[in-house]
Structure 1
Amino acid sequence: MEDLAAWLARLTFADLTQDEVTARIIDAVAAWGDAQGWRVYRRAPSVVTLPPPMDRQHSVLDVALARPGAPPVVVEVDHTDRRRTIDKLLAEAGAGRVAVWVRWGPGRLAEPPAPIRMIPLPVTRHQGRYARRTEPERPAPAHSPQAAAAGEVIELPLPDQDVT
């Protein structure tokens, strides 16, 4: 899954909502699968059923990729550390699929248990919007080596000005 990690490492965006970031990442995963020549399924059924009273229905995966001659790859994209996602991916791995969790967000992203493979995507958050850039942060500009000149203190209003 190093190829997928490298593909996603180039992903950039700015000023997106949480839902927009998740959709952008899902689109990128699907595009990667297409570029591999694999069949791509969005919102594919999982082996896990939903909790009661909907236990006759299956949970869904963000992306499933069918590869000829190799186990399918299933991908979940999340910005939070959800136990239900971990359980779903462990069940998928138990069914013979390669389970990948694309985790995005600011701060530290906790590693999931094996055999789940995590691809971390660090982002920044500002006023409820998210951004991701691939170029390094630019350092602050160097300040002038000269000390600031001391200025003369003038009381306001100035003596020759009309304040009305």
Structure 2
Amino acid sequence: MDGERLAASLTGRLAGLEFVDLGTDEVTARIIDAVLAWAADQGWRSYRRAASVLPLPPPMTDRHSVLDVACARRDGPPVVIEVDHTDRRRTWEKLAAEAAAGRVALWVRWGPGRFAAPPAPIHLVTCEVSRHAGPPGAGRRHSRTTGPARPAPAHSTHGVDPVVEPLPLLPVEPGS
């Protein structure tokens, strides 16, 4: 299925995304930038804050919701992407409406994990990040590293003679 293939491709792209000590809005912006770069690599035209087919709730039903990213492509239906750090019902309603209109709907969820699967035909793309308290008044901070943990630094023996002591021999008791 096209949606599954695209979700896997975007997951692969986001796998290399790294950042340290960013606020919630900064992480969302960084992920949206990565989504736009992924779309550009596919040769697609992409748009930030594109109009959704879903109208806003009353009293603004004359306006439409917006999508984080919408992509036009020659080789298939448009692709729409929402990026969220929370599980919002309004987001999956919007993506379900987009899918009903013939678009491929991808939902990028980021956070510390435990992502609930959205209803079909929405395709989930996850981006796990760690979070910690920031400085007072700064809110939560988020980080993501993808490489292996750094090895412990090598200890220097420069200018120091290593001390080698033989192990003491223990007496052997008969019959053991």
- For Structure 1 versus Structure 2, the TM-score category normalised by the shorter chain is 0.7 to 0.9
Residue 140 of structure 2 corresponds to residue 134 of structure 1: no
Residue 48 of structure 2 corresponds to residue 36 of structure 1: no
What one-letter code is carried by the residue in structure 1 that aligns with 2:19? F
Q: Counterparts of 1:69 and 1:124 in 2: how far apart (Å)?
A: 37
What one-letter code is carried by the residue in structure 1 that aligns with 2:128? P
Aligned-pair identity in percent equals 66
Q: Counterparts of 2:94 and 2:57 in 1: how far apart (Å)?
A: 12
Question: TM-score if structure 1 supplies the norm length?
Answer: 0.82
What one-letter code is carried by the residue in structure 1 that aligns with 2:141? R
Q: Classify the secondary structure of the residue corresponding to 1:25.
A: helix
User: What's 2:67 paired with?
Assistant: 61
Match of 2:31 among 25, 35, 47: 25
- What stretches of structure 2 of length at least 5 have no aligned partner? 1-5, 134-139, 154-176
Q: Counterparts of 2:63 and 2:128 in 1: how far apart (Å)?
A: 33
Could you give the per-residue CA deviations for residues 73-129 of structure 1, whole angstroms, max 9, x where no partner exists? 000000000000010001100000000000000131111111100011110001110
Q: Counterparts of 1:32 and 1:17 in 2: how far apart (Å)?
A: 23
What one-letter code is carried by the residue in structure 2 that aligns with 1:129? R
Displacement of 1:139 in angstroms is: 7.8
What one-letter code is carried by the residue in structure 1 that aligns with 2:39? G
Match of 1:91 among 88, 97, 102: 97
Q: Counterparts of 2:101 and 2:22 in 1: how far apart (Å)?
A: 35
User: What's 2:10 paired with?
Assistant: 4
User: What's 2:107 paired with?
Assistant: 101
Q: Counterparts of 1:67 and 1:126 in 2: how far apart (Å)?
A: 39
- What stretches of structure 1 of length at least 5 have no aligned partner? 142-164
Q: CA RMSD in A?
A: 1.4
What one-letter code is carried by the residue in structure 2 that aligns with 1:63? V
Q: Classify the secondary structure of the residue corresponding to 1:7.
A: helix
Q: Classify the secondary structure of the residue corresponding to 1:121.
A: strand
Q: Counterparts of 1:140 and 1:84 in 2: how far apart (Å)?
A: 46
Q: Counterparts of 1:97 and 1:71 in 2: how far apart (Å)?
A: 6
Question: TM-score if structure 2 supplies the norm length?
Answer: 0.77
User: What's 1:115 paired with?
Assistant: 121
